Amino acid sequence: MLGSGFVCDFFMQGLRYVPDQQVVVNFSQSEEKASAFADRWGVPESTTDLSAAVGRDDVDLVVVGLPNHVHKDACVAAAEAGKAVVCTKPLGRNADEAAEILGVVRQHGVFHGYLETEAFIPEVLRARKAVEDGAIGNVLIVRSREAHTGSHASYAWDAGTSGGGPLIGMGVHAVAACRIFIGKDVMPKEVVCWADTLEHDVPFEDNAVALVRFENRALGQIEAGWSNHGGMDVRTEIYGTDGLIHIDATHGVPLKAFSLNSMGYVQEKADMDTGWTFPQADEAWQYGYHGQMYHFVRCLEDGTPPAETFEDGYIANAVIDAAYKSAESRQWESIDLSGLEI
């Protein structure tokens, strides 16, 4: 497990229910964080030596949950050590970085998986099956929204370490949602995007909306922002020729409460724990972490190709790159997918 922050806690929650696996070492960029994570989760060893962590004989799979600017170094180290590697979003801070990562894992022929939670949310899986079975006919439009009030992580507020604001940090989830329902074999072609800094004192956008046209003329609408109070807002709407499907992964939960006293932990980035709240019974399950951890471990063990790979991570980066370009030019911009041919 490379990393000891918020997302790695989710990964560990997901791994609790995956048989035949053990996390044998945690790497973190600070000794204090590595040790604390190992103690918190019962990981037998911790280290600040990346090469030592990925090079161990008892490591088969490397899980990258580090800040964005360290993804490339971590994935390269794993690939050069001949280890299977899965990486959290975004794969790179931009498409060029993602293409480098993709090229390295291809060069070394290692198993690679993109840890896109959207693909493993239970409601998304059910909706995807309905779409594949033709329940709503041909998909015409997909609208996906990912929003909250800002990241927990300090690196996310620095353009150099994050690569940008919520458009890169959360918009990649929405890109994935659009591709899941429009079709993974249908390539995105061009983007028009509005992005602005409305609330936070940051050197990049804190809200963005983008339209993505696919080669079959289907339309994806991406919304990403840091001005959504009340906790996470994760929604997807799918419109087809014969029906529609709405998914609300955060506020559509079965448990709703009104309390004058604290409800305790409610959900990620909830502003308050009193009044009307939408407590998550099992947040790691609801967000897809259980499903994705089980999927990638099983695929590696069984020798089957995973549902999400670094190709998917690269495509998401390429769409977001074009969206940033469009936000500057204020016109439609083509999506460059040349990195898939490296």
Residues 189 and 76 in one domain: no
- The CA distance from 191 to 213, in Å, is 6
Query: What is the average per-residue pLDDT within 18-41?
Result: 95
- The CA distance from 157 to 169, in Å, is 10
CA distances from 22 to 1, 106, 185, 267 (A): 10, 26, 35, 27
The better pLDDT of the pair 17, 161 is held by 161
Query: What is the average per-residue pLDDT within 23-29?
Result: 97
pLDDT at 268: 84
Residues 186 and 321 in one domain: yes
pLDDT at 44: 97
pLDDT at 152: 84
Residues 129 and 238 in one domain: yes
Residues 16 and 68 in one domain: yes
Query: What is the average per-residue pLDDT within 298-317?
Result: 97
Is 339 within a domain? no
Residues 109 and 197 in one domain: no
Is 130 within a domain? yes
- The CA distance from 273 to 197, in Å, is 28
Its domain, for residue 30, covers 6-117+298-307
Residues 253 and 319 in one domain: yes
Between CA 339 and CA 153, with CA 145 as vertex, the angle to 5 degrees is 75
Domain count within the chain: 2
Is 338 within a domain? no
Residues 166 and 71 in one domain: no
Query: What is the average per-residue pLDDT within 181-187?
Result: 97
pLDDT at 18: 95
Residues 153 and 240 in one domain: yes
Is 258 within a domain? yes
Is 36 within a domain? yes
Residues 57 and 170 in one domain: no
Confidence of residue 38 (pLDDT cuts 50, 70, 90): very high
- The CA distance from 260 to 255, in Å, is 17
pLDDT at 22: 97
Residues 35 and 53 in one domain: yes
Order of all β-strands in the sheet with 61-64: 61-64, 84-88, 112-115
Contacts of 324 (CB under 8 A, 6+ apart): 164, 167, 168, 193, 195
Residues 144 and 265 in one domain: yes
Confidence of residue 284 (pLDDT cuts 50, 70, 90): confident
Residues 10 and 108 in one domain: yes
pLDDT surpassing 90 at residue 270? no
pLDDT at 293: 97
* Percent of the chain predicted with pLDDT > 70: 100
